[in-house]
Structure 1
């Protein structure tokens, strides 16, 4: 519950910190409505649309609407997929407005001590420290390798958790031993003709839970003619913080990442996680008011490319043979990769170049799957509703393989396959993994 003093502070800070010109940019035309998953899934309720949420933000800023828990819920229910931005004729940066509003509300929200401690543990003590991420995920690896996972399911222990979380436990990738993570080199030499020097943004979860996908990414880059450096001292991109009202912490993390990558004289900074990419490429916006870091953030953002974009730019699909057993493949866009990074044709070009593959475009592939960072954990009902509808579209393609380009999306689609009882006939896989699988040496 919001106290009256909290409401007053929120109203004051909205007036001081919200970008009023950006709020005014919204013409209320409604072009965003058909692209918004929560507007559609809630039966076209205006307060769950981008236009409606901007109106609520402006109302608070103008002092004509009092902030309350219902407004906070409206903002929290937003996936932050930013599908509204490409269709907006005024070019409203809705994602920036959403992050600012959430930060102000979170800063003034009264929460139970246990919630505050949990947030502090996750946002301050875990994700900003890659060594701790390795320790935590290695425990998951031990849980998987030791057979405890099978025991937990057999005795019904997982039934104590919400259905979506219990199902998610089944589809987690196999986590390597911590020693394997630690032993990986920091530099990999190109194969064939050298075409570029790249620095890999390894990511927090990508470099632990999805370690094998990072290995596949490095191998593909080497095959494409790239020297690959993995800068030391890089850490989580800060997206989880930025999307959950912890912008100040994400700024600290952005500065450390920029500094880490400046130490490597790379032509490009490569990512393989759409959610991370979108936040990284907006470091220039995040730090625009910091004179010491603004230009450095711009230089960082200019070098950013998704793995699929760099491969296509280097003609990987023309210089290497890709082949798989005959199958139908479909592609689920990462919202942030498509809507913020503007990368959507390149994954399709690569997949369509694989011999034996019949690529079928999924209806609504450009709409969110329901993952959205930690959304499927904090808003499980809406996330599962969106996911189940997404799986209906997958079924229409008759695909045996669903490809995506973001770890959260990958887990969500694996979860969808499990919920639809398709585990034996349909798989979900990251694009880097399927390309390496298809590569004919």
Structure 2
């Protein structure tokens, strides 16, 4: 609960920090409403729509309402999927408003000691340090391979966790050994004629828990004729921090990444995670008020490309790609589609696979409910959104659901498990499926 003193501080910072021109850009037309999952799943509550949240932010700025618990709940209920942005006739940068509002609230609210401890551990003690991420992932690997996981699952201990978390434990990928996690490449030559020189953003979760997908990405880039350089000094993208009210730490990580990639003269900076890519893409906005970094951030972001975009550019889809006969469908990564504007390229690659029949899913461009840690902190709403998504998945009769983001991948695996379809359906990252299709 926020105290009166905290509310006054929040209100003061809203008045000084929020972009009032951006708030006024919203015409209240309602074009965003049909695209907003929380508005639909909440029974069409205005406070859970982009238009409603902007109105609440403006009301705080104007001193008409207090930034109380209901206000904070409205902000926290937002997935941050940014599906409202492409359909907005005024071009409101809703995602930027949301991040600023959340940062103001969190920086001026006194958290309980347990919450403080968790936030400090996650945002400062873990994600910014890749060696610690590797150690934690290595321990998860021991849990999986030692037989401990089966013992815990049979013991019934997981029933004390929320249903979504207990199910999530079952769908986590099999992680590499600690030795494999530490043995990462920094430079790879192309296979065949070189077409591009690229640098690769490895990410924190992607190069630990999803390391096999990163390896598949590197192999595809090599097969596509790319020389690959991987900066040793790169860090977490900062998305988790930026979305959770830790903007200053996000800026630190952004500067570290910009400096790391500036040292490499590459055609593109490649990502394979929609969430990371979108935040990297927004570095120019994140650092817009810092003269020494603003232009460098824009230059960095201009080089950014999703793996699917560069594969299409070098005509990888014209290679011989084949899979056993099956129906495949695609779930968009919200940030890949809505921020990086990449939607046709993954589909073009999937449609080029011989033996596979591509079936477009109804509302494939709507959020699956993952949204970083949203499926943990807002589990009830997340599961409502996932249940709606799985209805559309089942209509395609697909054997394989393809995604382009680790959070989406885990969420779709969670949906498959919840629906009891594990023996009939699977969820895979786009690059893992393409590596299968190329016969590697």
TM-score, reference length from structure 1: 0.99
Q: Aligned equivalents of 1:263 and 1:173: distance in 2? A: 33
Q: Aligned equivalents of 2:261 and 2:145: distance in 1? A: 35
**Structure 1 residue 192: Cα displacement:** 1.0
The answer for the alignment partner of 1:112 in structure 2 is 112
The answer for the alignment partner of 1:302 in structure 2 is 302
The answer for the alignment partner of 2:398 in structure 1 is 399
Cα offsets for 1:222-258 (capped at 9, x unmatched) = 0000001111111110000000011111000000011
Cα offsets for 1:356-405 (capped at 9, x unmatched) = 01000000100000000010010000000100110000000000000000
The answer for the alignment partner of 1:159 in structure 2 is 159
SS at match of 2:197: strand
Cα offsets for 1:29-52 (capped at 9, x unmatched) = 000000000000011100000000
Moved more, 213-222 or 175-184: 175-184
In the alignment, structure 1 segments of 5+ residues that lack a partner are: none
SS at match of 2:29: coil
Cα offsets for 1:53-72 (capped at 9, x unmatched) = 00000000011111100010
The answer for the alignment partner of 1:383 in structure 2 is 382
5 Å-filtered alignment, 1:4-43, equals 4-43=4-43
Asked if structure 2 preserves the Cα contact closer than 8 Å seen for 1:288 and 1:294, the reply is yes
The answer for the alignment partner of 1:315 in structure 2 is 315
The answer for the alignment partner of 2:263 in structure 1 is 263
The answer for the alignment partner of 2:409 in structure 1 is 410
5 Å-filtered alignment, 1:344-383, equals 344-383=343-382
The answer for the alignment partner of 2:426 in structure 1 is 427
The answer for the alignment partner of 2:130 in structure 1 is 130
Q: Aligned equivalents of 1:185 and 1:336: distance in 2? A: 28
Query: 2:61 matched to 1:55?
Result: no
Q: Aligned equivalents of 2:392 and 2:17: distance in 1? A: 41
Asked if structure 2 preserves the Cα contact closer than 8 Å seen for 1:321 and 1:440, the reply is no
Q: Aligned equivalents of 1:18 and 1:382: distance in 2? A: 27
SS at match of 1:56: helix
Aligned residues: 440
Q: Aligned equivalents of 1:438 and 1:218: distance in 2? A: 15
**Structure 1 residue 440: Cα displacement:** 3.8
Q: Aligned equivalents of 1:381 and 1:63: distance in 2? A: 32
SS at match of 1:159: helix
Q: Aligned equivalents of 1:191 and 1:414: distance in 2? A: 33
**Structure 1 residue 110: Cα displacement:** 2.1
* Superposed CA RMSD: 0.7
**Structure 1 residue 184: Cα displacement:** 2.3
**Structure 1 residue 20: Cα displacement:** 0.4
SS at match of 1:85: helix
In the alignment, structure 2 segments of 5+ residues that lack a partner are: none
Cα offsets for 1:150-171 (capped at 9, x unmatched) = 0000011111211101100111
Q: Aligned equivalents of 1:109 and 1:440: distance in 2? A: 53
The answer for the alignment partner of 2:290 in structure 1 is 290
Cα offsets for 1:74-132 (capped at 9, x unmatched) = 00000000000000000000000000000000111122111101100100110000110
Asked if structure 2 preserves the Cα contact closer than 8 Å seen for 1:203 and 1:237, the reply is yes
Query: 2:235 matched to 1:235?
Result: yes
Q: Aligned equivalents of 1:136 and 1:346: distance in 2? A: 34
Structure 1 segments (4+ residues) deviating >3 Å: none
Asked if structure 2 preserves the Cα contact closer than 8 Å seen for 1:38 and 1:48, the reply is yes
SS at match of 1:44: coil
Q: Aligned equivalents of 1:135 and 1:335: distance in 2? A: 30
SS at match of 2:84: coil
